[in-house]
Structure 1
Amino acid sequence: MYKIAGHHHISMITKSANKNNHFYRHVLGLRRVKLTVNQDDASMYHLFFGDKTGSPGTELSFFEIPPAGKTHRGTNAITRIGLLVPSEDSLHYWQSRLDENGVAHSGVVTYAGRPALKFEDPEGLRLVLLAANSEKVAHWETWLKSEVPAEHQIQGMGPVEITVRRLEKLANTLTDLFGYTTVHYSEDEAIFQSIKGEPFGEIIVKYLDGPTERPGRGSIHHLAIRAKNEEELAFWEEKVRGRGFHTSGIIDRFYFKSLYFRESNGILFEIATDGPGFAIDGDVEHLGEKLDLPPFLEERRAEIEAHLSPIEENE
């Protein structure tokens, strides 16, 4: 039986690639590991931020949609992203850093049983820093050129919060289909882990009735979970189809292969392979410094570049 190894990446909507780029690089200290375009609509940027190489489990990705309006919050949506930092001392560092950058926050609180610091990005995307209480998350690679000291750097994705009307439906998908472990269950909230005891593959499901969220800037488009390789991905495609869900089929995204499906509440999941990774078309030292295009879009480079507004240069 194959095992989901945790989160792969998570994808959001931004209205401004420039403002987004500034916040995630210069405030949160992440590396921009890939500057590319949405492969399904090459008129929009697709930015990836993460650790030194954009390791699976560290990637935050954003589609730039300049006309994006306000998000009308509601249910049946992915509603918060957890980001892991090494310790409670790191949370105090981040409290000061957010203050210095004019970012409102909760102060140190408890979230999902861990010391935490809640805040939002400039577009209202809900985030929470959590103390991992470990010196280093295994799959994270230090980015030495970050503006954040190595001992306090964000080490990738932690718990992802999903809010739904039918909690039991999503619970069954996570446990029966993907083999997640239930670590807490009540009628209002449940917590599941892909690797028992590890926060980096955790999903928090909250019950909420009411209108469905209407996405806009700062909303979360989908969550991708990890498959080791294409063989595992084919296995999961068969399992997902066998469950009665419609899938996109396996799609070659060049940097990884993936498939998409919506579970019973309408939450969009992606299952993505670990490789080949973002260094397939560039060297590690210069990741994210220029516009990279997958081979099938390369012949359209001049046309694509002509329609994209410049993003600040790497410093």
Structure 2
Amino acid sequence: MLSGHHHISMLTKNGKENHYFYTTILGLRLVKKTVNQDAPSMYHLFYGDAAGAAGTELTFFEMPVAGRTVRGTNAITRIGLLVPSYDSLVYWQKRFEQLGVTHSEITTYAGKDALLFEDHEGLRMVLLNHNNQAIPSAWQAWDGSKIPAEHRILGMGTVEITVRSIERTMSVLQELFQYTVVAEKDNEVLVQSVEGEVFGEILVKELEGPSEKPGRGSVHHLALRVATVEELQEWNAKVKARGYDSSGVVDRFYFQSLYFRDRNGILFEMATDGPGFTADSSIEDLGKNLDLPPFLEGKRADIEALLEPLNEEER
């Protein structure tokens, strides 16, 4: 069984503006400042809780040439973030009003009290009332956040996927991943990897029309939690047995991964919990320096010369 979301990865045009929004406005911690291992001239930024635990990570590839996203189907279209209570939604609504963040009134989404909002590049997100329920034991609040402790973002909740053929994606989620259907209406299905827990929840919507054209503020892929590399290898065999093209197991240094697309073109990653972001940094120093996996360390000077500082302190 998959134990929930691991991380979700997006595209941003400007790392500095992205860093400001997610640390200063949302109060998340920059837990890893590194580069895209497949294209090391661009940042790969990870935001999350105190240690960047699996299930709390929002990650961004900086692509200065990224154009605007043309919204459509066959895409991951909204990211849910859990907050402790209804009062937290009220706090965030006022904060977004003060800071000029695009947002809705408090509403409902996937059966929960919710506040829809967008980041500065149009990435669609939603804050969800977690009703002070228990969270995964690995999630650790970051005391460096300027957001009051009782209203801080906890981690990832419902992730929305919009597709042209709902059966194709449901085949992956139900038959391969063994997700449980918990609600169904019209052209929407709500599934959970851990029944009763929103940190592994996906809302699948069916929508006809052209596929989304990705750009700044679009979602690249959703990663799902796997405990060990041995389990990951077993999943690799299962993915291939069902006829999907798999990347095979890829060593990302901070975790091991595999990638494949479903028949709608949705890119899924499966990633191990460990070794985690403290593999090359103390928990106190997470996000302060540019960390590189060992195979890129010899190119550090060339890589650093291509990257713009994320804030004035780095100049």
Which residue in 2 is equivalent to 1:13? 11
Deviates more, 1:139-148 or 1:111-120: 139-148
CA distance in 2, matches of 1:91, 1:137: 18
Which residue in 1 is equivalent to 2:282? 283
Would you say 1:297 and 2:296 are equivalent positions? yes
Deviates more, 1:102-111 or 1:32-41: 102-111
- TM-score between both structures, scaled by the size of structure 1: 0.98
Which residue in 1 is equivalent to 2:22? 24
Identity %, equivalent residues: 60
Q: Which runs of 4+ in 1 moved over 2 A?
A: none
Which residue in 2 is equivalent to 1:122? 120
CA distance in 1, matches of 2:250, 2:149: 36
The AA in structure 2 aligned to 1:76 is: N
CA distance in 1, matches of 2:40, 2:102: 34
Would you say 1:75 and 2:103 are equivalent positions? no
Number of aligned residue pairs: 313
Alignment of 1:195-234 (within 5 A): 195-234=194-233
- TM-score between both structures, scaled by the size of structure 2: 0.98
Which residue in 1 is equivalent to 2:236? 237
The AA in structure 2 aligned to 1:82 is: G
SS at match of 2:245: coil
SS at match of 1:8: strand
Q: For residues 260 and 278 of structure 1, do their structure 2 counterparts lie closer, same or farther at Cα, with a shift above 3 Å needed?
A: same
Which residue in 2 is equivalent to 1:50? 48
Gap regions ≥5 residues in structure 1: none
CA distance in 1, matches of 2:184, 2:130: 22
The AA in structure 1 aligned to 2:129 is: A
Gap regions ≥5 residues in structure 2: none
CA distance in 2, matches of 1:237, 1:181: 21
- Residues 102, 119 of structure 2: 8 Å contact kept: no
Alignment of 1:59-208 (within 5 A): 59-138=57-136, 139-208=138-207
**Residue deviations 1:153-180, cap 9 Å, x none?**
1011000000001101111210110110
The AA in structure 1 aligned to 2:257 is: S
Deviates more, 1:226-235 or 1:136-145: 136-145
SS at match of 1:145: coil
CA distance in 2, matches of 1:313, 1:299: 26
CA distance in 2, matches of 1:5, 1:136: 15
- Residues 259, 270 of structure 1: 8 Å contact kept: yes
Cα RMSD after superposing both structures: 1.1
Deviates more, 1:106-115 or 1:182-191: 182-191
- Residues 289, 313 of structure 1: 8 Å contact kept: no
- Residues 86, 136 of structure 1: 8 Å contact kept: no
